[in-house]
Structure 1
Amino acid sequence: MKKSIITLMALAFVATACKDEKKTQSESIAAAEVSLPPVSDATSENSVIYEANIRNYSPEGTFNAFTKDIPKLKQLGVKVLWVMPIYPISMKRRKATADKSIEDITDPAEKKKYLGSWYAITDYTAINPDLGTLEDFQKLVKTAHDNGMYVILDWVANHTGWDHKWITEHPEYYEKNKKGEVTDPLNPETGEPWGWTDVAHLDYKNKKVYEPMLNEMIYWVKDQGIDGFRCDVADNVPTDFWNFALPKLKAVKPLFMLMESEKEYLLKGQFDMGYGFEAHHVMNDIAKGTKTVADWDKLMIHLSEKYEKDDIMMNLTSSHDENAWNGSEYERMGDAAETFAALTYVMPGMPLIYTGQEYDNKKRLKFFEQDPIEKTKGHMFAVYEKLGELKNKNAALNGGKNAAAYRRIKTSNDVNVLAFERSNGSEKVYFMANLTKNPMSFTVDLEGTYNDYMSGNATTMAKGQKIDAKPWQYWILIKK
């Protein structure tokens, strides 16, 4: 009897210990979940955003293979993690190449390699099994949060894949052609197809689609704890839908909303940040030699007139679309790639790193197949690390709703040399660059002793001092 009592007491002790251990684990998980403050205006001021192409980030192409590298992204100053679509991809009309469908491929073995476009979604609240499980995704989100990163999901409200159940259960949700057939997206101005044959176009003139789409988005915010969305072709979806849905989403928790658009009217509503397409295209053109710094100056005046002071633009030298269809930054910009990467950090806005840029990826990543990057640290990892630290810590580079000031500085050759000051109170950062493929000499209206940030050396600037610049050479100067 005594032995039984002792045994029962021991079991009770073990049970209590296990309960306390589980309680401690639960408290630790809860603490981790609240360790990252909610998204706020401050989030956008000094952040770097990273676009995660899970399929091509690793040979495995899985959440888990990506998640283990999240601490490396923290080294780069990443604070917003944009994850490309994670949902199952429709098989019907799946794209194999830009102009071929999966139905055009007869060899079964060859068919298997064509994974389709991330943007042809068959179920908005499911996980693409190629990437892993829901639990794997939850681990990714928690790891990101533990490393001080907000997670935003790519959201495709404009269209679904052809296998989506709404096509058969709710055909009234879709655009129709003259024969009454569900159609792929058409150019609203011409009525001609865009060529997105692997997706079916949702019809927002029928407001019955509003609530179902909102509910699909709420699931990821409420049940999976994500922190916002990158909204694909946001201006192809009526503003009325965003004005309906986004306040309801933000009532669940504060969110960071990125739109694939540069339309200023969307920034006046529910979105926090848009795409800096105009600046990106000018950078490409300067690199090609078809535009000059004079065009950059015109652009900056144009942007200041077009947008409100608290509008935020995402600055980019690459993205999944740009890389796949127009080439890597090295293909488009050549030796100017690093210079324009630096410019995306010091100009107003938030800089983007696309998967592989930190590893000097020079190839076009295939859009419809797995095409993993090579993760070997080369030149740009250290460059992005240094730029990220400056962006994170120096208020003169604030680029959000309370952005630091931008002031052009006069040089003796303003057609070819860009020089400007970013300032926030006593904090000042200066950028100078020869934006040509030729050696250049110039003078600049700067005096004093500065820290040459990228080299770590001190440099003194005197009035009228001639500066010799190599092709595409740039400086980031901080007043000592």
Structure 2
Amino acid sequence: MTVITTFLLLSLSLNKKTDWIDDATIYEVNLRQYTEKGTFEAFREHLPRLKELGVEVLWFMPIHPISEVEKKGELGSYYAVADYKEVNPEFGTMEEFKALVEECHDMGFKVILDWVANHTGWDNQWITDHPEWYTQVNGEITIPAGTNWTDVADLNYDNEEMRQEMIDALVFWVEEADIDGYRCDVAGSVPVDFWEDARVALDKVKPVFMLAEDGSNYSLLDNAFDANYNWYLLDSINTVANGGRASAIRSDIRRAAAVYPDGTFPMNFVTNHDENSWNGTTEERLGTSRNLMDALVFTAPGIPLIYSGQEANLNKRLLFFDKDEINWSDLSKQDYYERLIDLKKENEALWNGSVGGDLTFIDTTEKSILAYVRTKDNNNVVFIGNFIDQVTEFTLKSFDESGQYRNYFTSEEVTLEEGINLELGPWAYYILVRD
């Protein structure tokens, strides 16, 4: 038996300020596609349902005005920011957004905004007033290197004045709208020391939660960010769903335990706005393994993400630059995600980062079976999944936490012990709890 001790030491003081994140699930809000009107006011009608769902952190994709110059599609990209201190009139007014944040807080939600620090749209006033704030090639402002993002202009982080204006804009939304943090777009393309300076400035206003859209530069987590993207796990999920070996997922969990700074953690997900629009729906990519992969996301170390429409069994790629409303007529998966969120909240072994439990892999006789137990004090949660599309019989070769467990979804009492023989159907799983 191999023991993976995740995030054992006390968190850095930076990462312990926002203790509301400890048992939280993040929910990404694609405001444009959420309702027919696509406004703050229309979205408010969904807050009671989201409260019932149990998500605690609402991540809003960028709410800023979108540049008209070089705009893609009819409505343009959220990520082509025309003004960092204004609200996109497509969504409503500043006052309506502030009222939405206040209502979210009153209901127990936290609100984080999507922030685009790497580039701006082409009609952002900064380009006119301060062209030196942008990356230039042969005297011409350029798009971000290595991309086809023709609707945005790359910012120059060698310019100290620009850095200060960007930090000022980040602080603005915390002071003016009382938001609770940021998800930061392409965070790894912006210097680490900028993010560290920004975090200090933000925490002077109030403790915030910071999520980096980055999966490999762990220095971002030393002093600036609390969490990043678990792209390694997502890649393995996609691979295993299409015939790859479950050992890839096991390796990803081992890697995460070794590389994350104390008090930080990955964000686990099977989809988000980019995955859905550009790489395919969960049905396209994962097929009948979807529920298994969701169960993995909620039991492996890290904070889970739900994207707009997952609970409505979203079965189409949402257009990125044009209106493409989510169909909410089928909420067949709402109860399923509610159960997974409750599972996380009710079991400290599954909490995020250093407040969660250790992970111990359970060896079995079959390579398609991935099994582990999360342990925190007297709370044990066992996950056993069959990562193949056929019925599998197997034996637990090693298991130190023998005893009576409760099947979380059926409430059936189960005795687990070393040497027990079990069977799982295609892409099936057990979640077993002892507390």
TM-score for the superposition, normalised by structure 1: 0.84
Q: Is the alpha carbon distance of 1:212 and 1:309 closer, same or farther for their aligned partners in structure 2, counting shifts above 3 Å? A: closer
1:138 corresponds to which residue?
Answer: 98
Output the amino acid matched with 2:160: K
Structure (1 or 2) with the larger CA radius of gyration: 1
Give the conservation status (yes or no) of the 8 Å contact 2:253–2:301: no
**In the comparison of the two structures, how many residue pairs are matched?**
417
Partners of 1:120 and 1:241 lie apart in 2 by 20
User: How much has 1:308 moved relative to structure 2?
Assistant: 2.8
Give the conservation status (yes or no) of the 8 Å contact 1:41–1:400: no
User: How much has 1:392 moved relative to structure 2?
Assistant: 1.5
User: How much has 1:293 moved relative to structure 2?
Assistant: 1.6
1:437 corresponds to which residue?
Answer: 389
Give the conservation status (yes or no) of the 8 Å contact 1:67–1:139: no
Q: Is the alpha carbon distance of 1:137 and 1:86 closer, same or farther for their aligned partners in structure 2, counting shifts above 3 Å? A: same
2:421 corresponds to which residue?
Answer: 466
Once the two structures are overlaid, the 10-residue window that deviates more, 448-457 or 331-340, is 448-457
> After superposition, what is the alpha-carbon deviation per residue over 1:104-153, rounded to whole angstroms, capped at 9, x for unaligned?
xxxxxxxxxx1010000101111111111112211221121112111000
User: How much has 1:224 moved relative to structure 2?
Assistant: 0.9
> After superposition, what is the alpha-carbon deviation per residue over 1:310-351, rounded to whole angstroms, capped at 9, x for unaligned?
221100000000111101111100001111111111111100
> In the alignment, does 2:91 pair up with 1:117?
no
Give the conservation status (yes or no) of the 8 Å contact 1:42–1:400: no
> In the alignment, does 2:110 pair up with 1:150?
yes
User: How much has 1:205 moved relative to structure 2?
Assistant: 1.1
Output the amino acid matched with 2:130: H
State the secondary structure of the residue aligned to 1:204.
coil
Q: 5 Å matches for 1:173-188? A: 173-178=133-138, 180-187=139-146
Output the amino acid matched with 1:270: A
1:30 corresponds to which residue?
Answer: none
2:61 corresponds to which residue?
Answer: 84
Partners of 1:152 and 1:391 lie apart in 2 by 21
> In the alignment, does 2:130 pair up with 1:170?
yes
Give the conservation status (yes or no) of the 8 Å contact 1:398–1:404: yes
Partners of 1:401 and 1:209 lie apart in 2 by 36
> After superposition, what is the alpha-carbon deviation per residue over 1:282-318, rounded to whole angstroms, capped at 9, x for unaligned?
11110011x2122222222222222234221100000
> In the alignment, does 2:204 pair up with 1:245?
no
1:190 corresponds to which residue?
Answer: none
Q: Is the alpha carbon distance of 1:424 and 1:122 closer, same or farther for their aligned partners in structure 2, counting shifts above 3 Å? A: same
User: How much has 1:218 moved relative to structure 2?
Assistant: 1.3
Question: Which of structures 1 and 2 has the larger relative contact order (alpha carbons within 8 angstroms, sep 6+)?
Answer: 2
User: How much has 1:394 moved relative to structure 2?
Assistant: 1.3
Give the conservation status (yes or no) of the 8 Å contact 1:46–1:400: no
Gap runs ≥5 in structure 1 = 1-37, 97-113, 188-193
Give the conservation status (yes or no) of the 8 Å contact 1:56–1:372: yes
Give the conservation status (yes or no) of the 8 Å contact 1:48–1:388: yes
Q: 5 Å matches for 1:27-426? A: 40-96=17-73, 114-178=74-138, 180-187=139-146, 194-262=147-215, 263-289=217-243, 291-413=244-366, 415-426=367-378
Give the conservation status (yes or no) of the 8 Å contact 1:46–1:392: yes
User: How much has 1:399 moved relative to structure 2?
Assistant: 1.5
User: How much has 1:171 moved relative to structure 2?
Assistant: 0.5
TM-score for the superposition, normalised by structure 2: 0.93
Partners of 2:250 and 2:195 lie apart in 1 by 33
1:451 corresponds to which residue?
Answer: 406
> After superposition, what is the alpha-carbon deviation per residue over 1:11-53, rounded to whole angstroms, capped at 9, x for unaligned?
xxxxxxxxxxxxxxxxxxxxxxxxxxx9934222210000000
> After superposition, what is the alpha-carbon deviation per residue over 1:148-200, rounded to whole angstroms, capped at 9, x for unaligned?
1110000001000011011111101001112x01111113xxxxxx0000001
1:23 corresponds to which residue?
Answer: none
User: How much has 1:363 moved relative to structure 2?
Assistant: 0.6
Partners of 2:380 and 2:361 lie apart in 1 by 13
Partners of 2:158 and 2:272 lie apart in 1 by 31
Output the amino acid matched with 2:88: N
User: How much has 1:221 moved relative to structure 2?
Assistant: 0.5
Partners of 2:292 and 2:218 lie apart in 1 by 28
User: How much has 1:432 moved relative to structure 2?
Assistant: 0.6
Q: Is the alpha carbon distance of 1:462 and 1:215 closer, same or farther for their aligned partners in structure 2, counting shifts above 3 Å? A: closer
Give the conservation status (yes or no) of the 8 Å contact 1:309–1:403: no
Output the amino acid matched with 1:153: L
Output the amino acid matched with 1:436: I
State the secondary structure of the residue aligned to 2:353.
coil
Output the amino acid matched with 2:203: K
Once the two structures are overlaid, the 10-residue window that deviates more, 82-91 or 386-395, is 386-395
1:478 corresponds to which residue?
Answer: 433
> After superposition, what is the alpha-carbon deviation per residue over 1:260-291, rounded to whole angstroms, capped at 9, x for unaligned?
012211001211111111111111110011x2
Partners of 2:135 and 2:298 lie apart in 1 by 41
User: How much has 1:56 moved relative to structure 2?
Assistant: 0.6
Partners of 2:382 and 2:117 lie apart in 1 by 41
Partners of 1:334 and 1:160 lie apart in 2 by 37
Give the conservation status (yes or no) of the 8 Å contact 1:359–1:380: yes
Partners of 2:343 and 2:99 lie apart in 1 by 29
Gap runs ≥5 in structure 2 = 1-14
> After superposition, what is the alpha-carbon deviation per residue over 1:194-248, rounded to whole angstroms, capped at 9, x for unaligned?
0000001110111120111111111101111001111100010111211222201
Partners of 1:465 and 1:236 lie apart in 2 by 50
Partners of 1:207 and 1:254 lie apart in 2 by 25
2:9 corresponds to which residue?
Answer: none
1:427 corresponds to which residue?
Answer: 379
